[in-house]
Amino acid sequence: MEKAVLLVSIIIIIRILLNDFLEKIPVPSLIIFILLGMCFGENGLFKINFDNYSFVNIICSVSLIFIMFYGGFGTNLKAAKPVVAQSVLLSTVGVAGTAGAVGLFSHFVLHLTWLESILIGSVISSTDAASVFNILRSRNLALKNNTDSLLEIESGSNDPISYMLTTSLIAIMLGQDISVPALLIQQMLFGILFGVLVAKLSIYLFKTSLFKSQESVTIFLFAVMLLSFSLPYTLNGNGYLSVYLCGIILGNSTLIHKKYLVHFFDVSTDVAQVIIFFLLGLLVTPVDLPRVMIPSLMIMLFLTLVARPLVSLILLAPFKSSPQQIALVSWSGLRGVASIVFAISVVLSGVQTKYNLFNLVFCIVILSISIQGTLLPWVANKLSMIDKNADVRKTFNDYQEDSDISFIKIHIDKNHPWKDLEISNLGLPRDLLIAMIVRNHSPIVPKGDTVLEVGDLLVFAARSFEDRKHLSLREVVIDKKSKWVNTPLHQITTENPYLIILIKRNLENIIPTGDTILLPGDILIMATAEE
């Protein structure tokens, strides 16, 4: 236990230190941490003997709660509305179809029993939300025809179905007297019910005056996330379905301090992914993998080249999806952490299988992330499915409060040098756009031959300043004893270069000039260059 905690802390630090490097490499960053885990393991350089399946199962299950919740919280339903039906079909019927197809393949080709074959299909039937989100964001892959939204909703919502199929197969193989239809209904019913109820109650509480700070809101939402999972789970409901639905409802609602919540869960989920993949790499015994490498490769190839394309074609063709979209969706069915977590559950249950299911699924996931994940941007480009004029962040809720566009306004008075000039003759930079002109209280659409008149209000749009590596912003409060009180800005000198870009005075924001006199209570927003 102590070694595991120590290693986790070390790997998180490594993740932070390697951030710039990981963004540049073509291989999905998550595969690096699996390899690091294997490097620390008993067959690696550090020879750490670690086989605590129970500990890893707990850590991975909790981490998966974060991933599922944030997957729902970050899904922008407005952007995804055109493809919701397709996504739901892929995450339900598609999962069942994939499980069945892999089950048939495993039975007739690998000569496994029917129950073991369908169990393997159930465990690996869901696509991986963590990997899909990671690749789309890190590579800035905005896809045509809302394909990015389709993949995000599908990968975020199909784990519950895979989980239900897996738990049902485990119960059957252990000889438990259960009704599979009743179990599935119970899982779905409690999962949906508690997910919606917890989310609605939370929204109601958010609208009260109970929360006084960003910290209290964050802690409350953290508790809500855990509650939405645990309530249905204690009643044999599907906790993963519940936490995903709760995340969707909350993420598409108006919440106070939402951007801070997004940042918190963004970091938390990233850490969770790193921990999961590192521990899985640490848990596996590489010398045992050759025994399952051939069947893993066969299943992965069948899954990628036959099962997934067939299911995608059957389900998407009625929606008149283009062949390019169907092909990209087929290739984007990455397997990941959820499949390995479900495989660990099978191992801990005591179910006997011909192959070590953890090793088998581990190899499938490694192959899927390495091959499919690495080639996904290339495949998208070859299929001409990349939308170069869009931003993939539009499909995530954090985009709503994290736009890189700023707006400024300029008044044209009688002394302004732009008076009586056409817009085309202003010589504006390419990145500066006149979004709107307000003339006589009425907005007009600016054109190249539009002549600017006295009294016009120009609204400019430009990209926000993001060079934070070389600039530091800080607030300085001017109190009564400050030597700057009642002093014009042009008379102020300091040892370090600075620029006062804004003055907050009571409820007013002032753009400073050299003649601006500082008063007690002023808050200066100062920019200084970092060394």
Which domain does 429 fall in, by range? 404-463
pTM to 2 decimal places:
0.72
| Distance set, CA 512 to CA 189, 293, 488, 495, 517 (Å) | 60, 67, 10, 20, 9
Residues 271, 409, single domain; the answer is: no
Residues 105, 232, single domain; the answer is: yes
Residues 6+ apart with CB under 8 A from 433: 460, 461, 462
- Going 125 to 130 to 132 to 135, the CA torsion angle's sign is negative
Residues 278, 148, single domain; the answer is: yes
Residues 328, 232, single domain; the answer is: yes
Residues 423/452, Cβ–Cβ less than 8 Å: yes
Residues 182, 326, single domain; the answer is: yes
Residues 303, 330, single domain; the answer is: yes
The predicted pLDDT at position 399 comes to 46
| Distance set, CA 104 to CA 36, 119, 239, 294 (Å) | 35, 11, 29, 17
- Tens-place pLDDT, residues 417-462: 899 998 888 878 766 778 788 888 888 878 888 899 999 988 887 7
Residues 86, 198, single domain; the answer is: yes
Which residue, 420, 443, 463, sits at the end of a domain? 463
Residues 271, 349, single domain; the answer is: yes
Tokens describing residue 487: 């002093």
Helix 147-157 / helix 323-331 crossing angle, nearest 10 deg:
40
Residues 122/165, Cβ–Cβ less than 8 Å: yes
Q: In terms of C-beta density within 10 A (0-12 exposed, 13-18 middle, 19 or more buried), how is residue 323 classed?
A: exposed
Q: Give the count of beta carbons closer than 10 Å to the beta carbon of residue 95.
A: 27
With a cut of 70, list the residues of the chain below it in pLDDT. 1, 3-4, 26, 138, 389-406, 430-431, 463-473, 494-497, 507, 528-531
Q: Give the Cα separation of 303 and 161 in Å (integer).
A: 17
- Tens-place pLDDT, residues 19-49: 777 777 767 777 888 888 898 888 887 788 8
Which residue, 369, 398, 427, sits at the end of a domain? 398
Residues 445, 371, single domain; the answer is: no
Please report which helix (H) or strand (E) contains residue 301, including its range: helix 290-302
Residue 79, φ and ψ in degrees, nearest 5: -70, -30
* Structural domain count of the chain: 3
Q: Specify the pairing of strand 499-505 against strand 442-444.
A: unpaired
Residues 262, 369, single domain; the answer is: yes
Which residue, 398, 414, 432, sits at the end of a domain? 398
CATH assignment of the domain containing 151: 1.20.1530.20
Residues 512, 394, single domain; the answer is: no
Helix 147-157 / helix 129-138 crossing angle, nearest 10 deg:
150
Residues 433, 489, single domain; the answer is: no
Tokens describing residue 262: 């997004």
The predicted pLDDT at position 327 comes to 96
The predicted pLDDT at position 477 comes to 84
CATH assignment of the domain containing 414: 3.30.70.1450
